[in-house]
């Protein structure tokens, strides 16, 4: 038997904090600080355990917490740091001023993880949520349609994800399983950089399900596959200026 949970003690309250409790905690910490979390609730007159007080203060009440949605830059930083540090949320939070480990963890699990997965073959998988799968998605900035995807049936029989194979190191073409609306696709790609879209094929019985193989070339006509994960993430989430990525 492990140690009993601290909040199971008689009379200690659990669940969401009330504004009154918040105010008591804030006032106490402003006056006396939080030297001893275990003793704090009793001294402050709160029917909470020390852990609960600490969590509430660190994750919600602290004055230096930045509220609101994560910016694109913050999300990219999280992805980068997660590549380096793994699930060390507190270490990641330390590099994102105003954000808490809990918040970052939540964002990762609810947004980022579902959008970006590296499988055993080092393939980059951009996975769509079930809700996303039911809708057509457009990037507000460039109008690229990112729906109508062809899903990888071998690995994802439930059609949950879009698999992008690792770029070949010596081949002159990069085969992608990207499927998109060909008209939107060609309109948004700068011909100077994205010079060719070829061998497109579509299922005659399903006109919403197109598949393209395409070649990526930069302005010097040099194929450039050697991009890091962030690049591919940006490409498939349409969160960056695509042609500039190839410069």
Partner DNA sequence: AACAAACACAACCGCCGCAGG
Partner DNA sequence: GCCTGCGGCGGTTGTGTTTGT
Q: Give me the residues that bind DNA (CB under 7 A), please.
A: 2-3, 5, 7-8, 13-17, 36-39, 50-52, 54-56, 59-60, 69, 87-91, 101-103, 105-107, 109-111, 114, 129-132, 134-135
Sign of CA dihedral 170, 122, 107, 91: negative
Q: To the nearest whole angstrom, how small is the minimum distance from the Cβ of residue 164 to DNA?
A: 20
Q: To the nearest whole angstrom, how small is the minimum distance from the Cβ of residue 206 to DNA?
A: 17
Q: Which residues contact 5 (CB under 8 A, 6 or more apart)?
A: none
Q: To the nearest whole angstrom, how small is the minimum distance from the Cβ of residue 139 to DNA?
A: 16
* b/e burial code for range 26-51 (CB count within 10 A of at least 16 → b): bebbeeeebeeeeebbeebebebbbe
Q: Which is nearer to DNA, 4 or 226 (CB)?
A: 4
Q: To the nearest whole angstrom, how small is the minimum distance from the Cβ of residue 207 to DNA?
A: 19
Q: To the nearest whole angstrom, how small is the minimum distance from the Cβ of residue 89 to DNA?
A: 3
- Residue pair 223/216 in contact (Cβ under 8 Å)? The answer is yes
DSSP sequence for 187-232: HHS-TTTS-EEEEEEEETTEEEEEEEEEE---TTS-------HHHH
Q: Which is nearer to DNA, 81 or 164 (CB)?
A: 81
Q: Which is nearer to DNA, 52 or 180 (CB)?
A: 52
Q: At what angle do helices 229-237 and 72-85 cross, to 10 degrees?
A: 140
Q: Which is nearer to DNA, 55 or 245 (CB)?
A: 55
Q: What is the side-by-side order of every strand in the sheet holding 161-164? A: 117-118, 124-127, 161-164
- Residue pair 210/202 in contact (Cβ under 8 Å)? The answer is yes
- Residue pair 65/100 in contact (Cβ under 8 Å)? The answer is yes
Q: Which is nearer to DNA, 95 or 111 (CB)?
A: 111
Cα separations (Å) of 21 from 30, 42, 52, 103?
14, 13, 11, 21
Q: Which is nearer to DNA, 55 or 229 (CB)?
A: 55
Q: To the nearest whole angstrom, how small is the minimum distance from the Cβ of residue 145 to DNA?
A: 15
Q: To the nearest whole angstrom, how small is the minimum distance from the Cβ of residue 214 to DNA?
A: 28
Q: Which is nearer to DNA, 59 or 175 (CB)?
A: 59
């Amino acid at each position: 038997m492990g140690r009993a949970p601290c909040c199971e003690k008689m009379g200690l309250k659990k669940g969401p904090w009330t504004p009154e409790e918040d105010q008591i905690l804030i006032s106490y910490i402003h006056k006396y600080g939080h030297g001893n979390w275990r003793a704090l609730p009793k001294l402050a007159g709160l029917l909470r355990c020390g852990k609960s007080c600490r969590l509430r203060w660190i994750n919600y009440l602290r004055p230096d917490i930045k509220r609101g949605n994560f910016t694109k830059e913050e999300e990219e930083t999280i992805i980068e740091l997660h590549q380096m540090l793994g699930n060390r949320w507190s270490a990641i939070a330390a590099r994102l001023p105003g954000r808490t480990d809990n918040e970052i963890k939540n964002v990762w699990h609810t947004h980022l993880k579902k959008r970006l997965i590296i499988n055993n073959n080092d393939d980059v998988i951009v996975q769509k949520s079930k809700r996303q799968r039911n809708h057509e998605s457009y990037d507000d900035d460039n109008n690229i349609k990112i729906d109508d995807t062809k899903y990888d049936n071998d690995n994802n029989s439930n059609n949950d994800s879009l698999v992008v194979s690792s770029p070949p190191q010596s081949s002159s073409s990069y085969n992608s399983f990207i499927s998109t609306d060909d008209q939107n696709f060609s309109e948004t790609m700068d011909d100077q950089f994205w010079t060719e879209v070829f061998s497109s094929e579509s299922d005659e019985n399903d006109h919403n399900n197109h598949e393209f193989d395409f070649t990526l070339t930069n302005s010097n006509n040099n194929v450039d596959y050697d991009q890091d994960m962030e690049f591919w993430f940006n490409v498939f989430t349409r969160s960056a200026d695509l042609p500039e990525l190839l410069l």
